């Protein structure tokens, strides 16, 4: 069958390394997997008062999640946690109570940082929320990508052999995970 994956990048930065990582990863996936970036940059700040009257951007986010068979989170670490924009998106699509759009969608978590242990804590915090949101999340292999010169080549592929092999293995495991857990 075909698998549509909703990609959530935790950075809104124009030249985001995490967006580049997401796009390079997507190229390592098999043809039966297609990927769509979710736009989380136009969501309002979450306010519980609006649960019964969600903004169009929130409804769109929830519909795109509902239409996907899997989730791919690619996030930076901000101040030893996930960025607020990502948490905001998690909160929006989890509501109103009982209508959590994330539930049951198999997920993968990965991230890139300019710091050497970067994204480990952000990923762990994200995993905590995903567990509560009932997202079966790939446990291994973990991947904490340290951004260095040459990580991406001029075509947006992974530029060095070791990293490419590592990330190809990660993608293979992610693909197996989605196939096993997609409804
Ligand atoms: C950072 N950065 C960062 N890096 C890290 O490894 N751990 C951290 O806790 C933080 N904290 C942090 C807070 C804020 C507000 C910013 C803007 C940045 C650095 C971060 O890894 C770097 O900016 C990346 O380039 C962010 O990812 P994108 O935007 O390139 O995808």
Q: What domains lie within the chain, and their CATH numbers?
A: 3-181 (3.40.50.360)
pLDDT score for 103? 98
Distance 53 CA to ligand 1 centre (A): 33
pLDDT at 162 over 90: yes
pLDDT score for 40? 98
Encode pLDDT of 96-155 as tens digits. Answer: 999 999 999 999 999 999 998 889 999 999 999 999 999 999 999 999 999 999 999 999
Distance 65 CA to ligand 1 centre (A): 26
pLDDT score for 4? 98
In this structure, the residue with its CA closest to atom 13 of ligand 1 is 78
- Mean pLDDT for all residues in the chain: 97
pLDDT score for 1? 87
- Is the CB of 16 within 6 Å of ligand 1? yes
Pocket test residue of 18, 40, 75, 77 for ligand 1, highest count of atoms within 8 A of CB: 77
- Is the CB of 115 within 6 Å of ligand 1? yes
Q: Which whole number is the average pLDDT over 82-89? A: 98
Q: Which long-range contacts (CB under 8 A, 24 or more apart) does 18-21 make?
A: 18/74, 18/75, 18/76, 18/111, 18/112, 19/74, 20/112, 20/152, 20/156, 21/74, 21/110, 21/111, 21/112, 21/145
- Is the CB of 80 within 6 Å of ligand 1? yes
CA-to-CA dists, residue 145 to 13, 92, 118, angstroms = 17, 28, 8
Pocket test residue of 21, 78, 126, 152 for ligand 1, highest count of atoms within 8 A of CB: 78
In this structure, the residue with its CA closest to atom 2 of ligand 1 is 78
Q: What's the predicted TM-score (pTM) here? A: 0.98
- Is the CB of 113 within 6 Å of ligand 1? yes
ipTM over the 0.85 cut-off? yes
pLDDT score for 118? 84
pLDDT score for 116? 85
Q: Which whole number is the average pLDDT over 14-43? A: 98
| Residue 7 phi, psi (nearest 5) | -100, 125
- Is the CB of 137 within 6 Å of ligand 1? no
- Is the CB of 75 within 6 Å of ligand 1? no
pLDDT at 29 over 90: yes
pLDDT score for 183? 78
């Amino acid at each position: 069958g075909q698998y549509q994956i909703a990609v959530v990048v935790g950075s809104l930065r124009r030249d985001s390394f995490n967006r580049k990582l997401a796009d390079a990863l997507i190229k390592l996936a098999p043809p039966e997997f297609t990927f769509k970036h979710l736009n989380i940059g136009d969501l309002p700040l979450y306010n519980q008062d609006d649960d019964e009257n969600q903004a169009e951007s929130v409804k769109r986010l929830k519909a795109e999640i509902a239409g996907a068979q899997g989730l791919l989170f690619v996030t930076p670490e901000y101040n030893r946690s996930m960025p607020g924009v990502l948490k905001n998106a998690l909160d929006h699509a989890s509501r109103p109570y009982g209508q959590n759009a994330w539930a049951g969608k198999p997920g993968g978590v990965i991230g890139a940082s300019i710091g050497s242990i970067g994204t480990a804590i952000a990923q762990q915090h994200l995993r905590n929320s995903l567990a509560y949101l009932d997202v079966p999340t790939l446990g291994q292999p973990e991947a904490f990508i340290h951004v260095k010169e040459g990580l991406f080549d001029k075509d947006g592929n992974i530029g060095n052999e070791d990293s490419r092999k590592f990330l190809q293995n990660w993608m293979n495991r992610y693909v197996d995970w989605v196939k096993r857990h997609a409804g």
